[in-house]
Amino acid sequence: METARVKTPLGFATIIGDENGISSITVSDGGLIPTLIPKALQEAVTQLNEYFDGKRTDFTLELNPEGTEFQQKVWSALLEIPYGKTRTYLDQSKVLGDVKAIRAVASANGKNPLWIVVPCHRVIGSDGSLTGYAGGLWRKKWLLEHENPTKQQSLF
């Protein structure tokens, strides 16, 4: 596995992967020094930069996260949430076919190893609240606003 660290508007992203795909993208507040980007991770860095620059709304990376069969199913369902849209944890449970699995779905969302690329930040509470985000709620808020900025209405 190879590792790259890059600066983003939300902190330092650490990307781990190889020729079989990206297995992890995490974010931290700092203290990390950006690294040279290994060839296997260059496309991931490019696509993340395009996302933050507002030039990319979906990712076309080969993904290779480790997780249980249930976690993989939950993460695949997250990929179906369109850019700029949100879904509640209950809706996510319904998509997966079991409304009683809401807590298990929320737990699997929290273990998502692919920050931003697998958009768990697009899942919100039933009351519209920003709940449960491993990267910090301020990052979740930032990402949702980035994907769906409020347009100023014309005064005239």
CA–centroid distance for 16 within its chain: 15
CA distance 78 to 121: 9
Residue 108 has pLDDT above 80, yes or no: yes
CA–centroid distance for 50 within its chain: 14
Q: What does each C-alpha distance from 26 to 3, 7, 15, 92, 155 come to in angstroms? A: 11, 12, 7, 22, 41
Among 1.10.10.10, 3.40.50.720, 3.40.50.620, 1.10.3720.10, what is the CATH number of 69-147? 1.10.10.10
Instruction: Look at 73-77, 111-115, 121-125, 126-130 and tell me which has the smallest mean pLDDT.
Output: 126-130
Select which of 120, 123, 124, 143 is catalytic: 120
State the span(s) of the chain assigned CATH 3.30.160: 2-52
> Span 2-52: which CATH code?
3.30.160
Which phi and psi angles does 31 have, rounded to 5°? 80, -5
State the span(s) of the chain assigned CATH 1.10.10.10: 69-147
First CA to last CA distance, the chain: 56
**How much is the average pLDDT of 43-55?**
97
pLDDT of residue 135: 84
154 is catalytic: no
